[in-house]
Chain A
Amino acid sequence: MSDERLPPRGDELSSWKALLYEKGVPVILVILTLITVIVLLAALAVIVGILPTQ
């Protein structure tokens, strides 16, 4: 059995914290990754001349 659904070891989390941990963290990480990709694309756009340099 995978331990992926177990609560964090060493911490006693309330149910809402556990829910935030299970569902909220991956959503936050995906959003951060998307923003990172946008920033990188913008930097590429600067290099190819679409956006002005800072």
Chain B
Amino acid sequence: MSLTSLMPFVSVAIMFVFALLVFRRYAVRRGLHLLLWGIGLVMYGLGSFAEAYHAVAGFNAFVFRLWYLFGAMLVAAWLGQGTVYLLVHRRIGGVRIAHILMAVLLLGSLYGAFKVFSAQLDPSLMPGESLSGHAIVTSGVRILTPFFNMYGTVTLVGGAIYSAFVFWRRRILPHRMVGNILIAVGALAPALAGLLSRVGLTEFLYLGELLGAILMFAGFLQATVEATEPQRQASEVPQLP
């Protein structure tokens, strides 16, 4: 087994511990953003689990579909939706914009799941040993992915950069500012790896996902360090996570 094939195992372990901590935080504090982040992290873990399974047992159609749906298509958008719930409080016609976007994301996710699970697969079309969307033969499936990922990148990375900027500008909670920078870098790592994968450099995909898992977890731990009383009093701005 190559070093690349071992990386998803580490990502799985990190992501499920990460998800557990976020769900525990949700159980104590509530907040839909924590619930959405927890679900997104489980999706990340499922994607990494599928990669680890593929490394051990070879191609399995059901596991591949799980990987593509959760690991390639939905994960960024659902994590980003958590950030939307945290930062977007405006309403249109009395309805929270975040709820409207959630409804669109849910419908889109159901449609994506239907397309992925009804698609024809040909694993011989995958260029390397890593899982790749090239195995999906049916048209109209892989083209959905960039729409989800654009939404996820704008909301998750954009939200983290925005929050870090707010903390920096107001000179408050530096640990949360650092945490948000780590989360932004961590979220960009798999996005960049996906970009490299598209131009044929598939060997960077698992590395990008592992770096993303490590950096986002480090960012979460950094951002959730308890603030001192003066810091808490000075803090009245949106916070991630």
Q: Which residues of A contact B (CB under 8 A)?
A: 3-4, 6-11, 13, 21, 25-26, 28-29, 32-33, 35-36, 38-40, 42-44, 46-47, 51-54
Judge whether B66 is part of the interface by a CB distance below 8 angstroms: no
> Are B146 and A47 interface neighbours, CB within 8 A?
yes
Contacts of B145 in A (CB 8 A): 46, 53-54
> Are B153 and A3 interface neighbours, CB within 8 A?
no
A40-B153, A54-B197 given; A9·B172 CB < 8 A? yes
Q: How far is the CA of A46 from the CA of B72 in the complex (A)?
A: 14
Judge whether B30 is part of the interface by a CB distance below 8 angstroms: no
Contacts of A54 in B (CB 8 A): 72, 132-133, 142, 145, 194, 197-198
> Are B185 and A46 interface neighbours, CB within 8 A?
no
> Are A43 and B150 interface neighbours, CB within 8 A?
yes
CB B227 to nearest CB in A, in angstroms, measures: 8
Q: Which one of B17-25, B92-100, B156-164, B216-224 is at the interface?
A: B156-164
Contacts of B197 in A (CB 8 A): 54
CB A34 to nearest CB in B, in angstroms, measures: 11
Residues of chain B in range 144-172 having any CB-CB distance to chain A below 8 Å = 145-147, 149-150, 153-154, 157-158, 161, 164-165, 168-169, 171-172
CB B25 to nearest CB in A, in angstroms, measures: 23
> Are A28 and B181 interface neighbours, CB within 8 A?
yes
Judge whether B228 is part of the interface by a CB distance below 8 angstroms: yes
Top 10 A-B residue pairs of the complex, sorted by shortest distance between their CB atoms:
A53-B142, A43-B146, A10-B230, A10-B231, A46-B146, A43-B150, A8-B171, A54-B133, A39-B191, A42-B195
> Are A43 and B149 interface neighbours, CB within 8 A?
yes
Q: How far is the CA of A4 from the CA of B133 in the complex (A)?
A: 47
Number of interface residues of B (CB under 8 A): 39
Q: Counting chain B CB atoms within 10 Å of each CB, which of A10, A26, A28, A33 scores highest?
A: A10
Judge whether B188 is part of the interface by a CB distance below 8 angstroms: yes
Q: How far is the CA of A6 from the CA of B177 in the complex (A)?
A: 16
> Are B161 and A29 interface neighbours, CB within 8 A?
yes
Judge whether B1 is part of the interface by a CB distance below 8 angstroms: no
Judge whether B143 is part of the interface by a CB distance below 8 angstroms: yes
Q: How far is the CA of A30 from the CA of B164 in the complex (A)?
A: 11
Contacts of B177 in A (CB 8 A): 25
Interchain residue pairs with CB less than 8 A apart (29): A7-B171, A8-B171, A9-B171, A9-B172, A9-B234, A10-B230, A13-B174, A21-B174, A28-B181, A33-B161, A36-B157, A36-B158, A38-B195, A39-B188, A39-B191, A42-B198, A43-B146, A43-B153, A44-B146, A44-B150, A46-B145, A46-B198, A51-B198, A53-B133, A53-B142, A53-B145, A54-B132, A54-B145, A54-B197
> Are B171 and A3 interface neighbours, CB within 8 A?
yes
> Are A32 and B181 interface neighbours, CB within 8 A?
yes
